[in-house]
Amino acid sequence: MENLLVYLDHNATTPVAPEVREAMAPFLSTDWCNPSSPYRPAQRVRAAVDRAREEVAALLACDPDEITFTSCATESCNLAILGTARSAGPGARLVTVSTEHHAVLNAVKAAQAQGSDVMFLPVDRQGLLESGAFIGSLLPRTVLVSVMLGNNETGVVQDIAAIGRACRERGILFHCDATASIGKMAVRPQDLSCDFLSLSGHKFGAPKGIGALYVRADVKAYPIMYGGEQEAGLRPGTENVAGIVGLGVAARRAKQFAESGGPVRLDVLRNAIESGIRGRVPSAEFLSLPPDRPDRRLCNTLSVRVPGVRNDELVLLLDREGICVSTGAACATGASLPSHVIRAMGYADEEAREVIRISLGEENSERDVERLVDAFARAAAALSGGSYLRTRVPVPVELPS
């Protein structure tokens, strides 16, 4: 077994980029002042926060004043959903999708407990929102719709622009969780007709503990915590300056990665994984749209199941080979329950327990693909009653020039 780690769980978290660490370092040592203080050392810190806000705004092609810094996407989702629900009062309707991240689902359930009327929309076998059910859910009392862009487990991309337009035409606020999509595709809230959009820095090279919420300029947002007037009064508490600076650098890197063809390269690697596994494990089933629908798939994500092979056992065998994949969202895998996303797509509990998620990152190579496909095939054979052979079969990968 090779000793080098093959990390293929980037939808769980990503390594902090070296330039992000370097940019953060002064704000953990010499530049420690409170950015709200009036003296010059503090104002240098304030200027760094402002620059980071501009970097995040550039990534999203929006105005810096539309960016609110938070601790993570979970907080951003809660801020958009609960703030809107509480301001609308009891009886207001919230609409979301059954395959959303728990950050959205549980925030909506919390609003329901406080008097909101909620609706969880179904998806089809491929994980796509059923348009008829969506349009039918937009009743006059609906105040907010929340739909994620790219699914963090399957990589399926919803038609967010059409959903956003339908909401805008009816005067309904629209929140989009874009956490899994940043750096993998163009994410521009204005093009998507979003009023709110959530992201988390640790999904694209920033540290854990920093995120942001886009709030459209002419939308009134409401806080869910109370204290000082930081972040225009929407998110009180002294700013996490080092994290904010790191998020700004990570946003700049994500923009450069997208503009330099990074997503195209990840798309090639993902397709090579899929074709390699199909060739070595004919029984494997991929829970995503076909490769000829790249506009509806995240370039780095795929979910696959081998009938009769439990995902936790497969993950353990791959781990022995130094290959890191997951059984689903990292926020839920510790619960040992079948994925709610896979179940919502119509799979039985036992089938859902056979699904693993593979999510690529910018540092992955064709050699990583070869190692994964080979180890996956041998592990699947062993868990299906065969032998766990050490013979390696190379998987050719062609990258775009």
Answer whether residue 383 shows pLDDT above 90.
yes
What does the pLDDT look like over 287-298, one tens digit per residue? 977 666 778 999
pLDDT at 385: 78
Residues 6+ apart with CB under 8 A from 102: 329, 331, 332, 340
Q: Find, among 50, 338, 360, the residue nearest to 203 by Cα.
A: 360
Pairwise CA distance, residues 328 & 334, whole Å: 10
Can 331 be counted among the known catalytic residues? yes
- Catalytic residue from among 33, 77, 194, 331: 331
Structure tokens at 383: 């868990």
Average pLDDT over residues 265-274: 96
Q: Find, among 59, 66, 128, 56, the residue nearest to 295 by Cα.
A: 128
324 three-state secondary structure: strand
Residue with tokens 């090579």: 272
Residue 341 one-letter amino acid:
V
In angstroms and rounded to an integer, the radius of gyration of the C-alpha atoms of the chain is 22
pLDDT at 328: 74
Q: Find, among 103, 112, 53, 50, the residue nearest to 80 by Cα.
A: 103
Which runs of consecutive H residues, i.e. helices, occur in 333-392?
340-344, 349-352, 366-383
Whether 365 contacts 3, CB under 8 Å: no
Pairwise CA distance, residues 191 & 174, whole Å: 13
> The pTM is what?
0.93
Assign 396 a pLDDT band (cuts: 50, 70, 90).
low
Average pLDDT over residues 282-307: 88
Pairwise CA distance, residues 52 & 15, whole Å: 19
Structure tokens at 366: 């064709």
What does the pLDDT look like over 204-249, one tens digit per residue? 999 999 999 999 999 999 999 999 999 999 999 999 999 999 999 9
Q: What is the DSSP string of 165-217?
A: HHHHHTT-EEEEE-TTTBTTB---TTTTT-SEEEEEGGGTTSPTT-EEEEE-T
Structure tokens at 17: 């980029």
Whether 148 contacts 158, CB under 8 Å: yes
Average pLDDT over residues 342-349: 96
Average pLDDT over residues 189-202: 98
What does the pLDDT look like over 11-66, one tens digit per residue? 999 999 999 999 999 999 999 999 999 999 999 999 999 999 999 999 999 999 99
Pairwise CA distance, residues 252 & 335, whole Å: 35
In the sheet with 67-70, reading across from the earlier edge strand, the strands are 67-70, 211-215, 196-200, 173-177, 142-146, 93-97, 117-121
Domains in the chain with CATH codes: 6-14+260-383 (3.90.1150.10), 18-257 (3.40.640.10)
Residues 6+ apart with CB under 8 A from 74: 103, 200, 211
| Planar angle of CA 249, 74, 260, nearest 5 degrees | 35
Residue 346 one-letter amino acid:
G
Question: What is the DSSP-derived secondary structure letter of residue 226?
Answer: -
Question: What is the DSSP-derived secondary structure letter of residue 322?
Answer: T
Average pLDDT over the chain, rounded to an integer:
93
Query: Residue 387: exposed, middle, or buried by beta-carbon count in 10 A (0-12, 13-18, 19+)?
Result: exposed
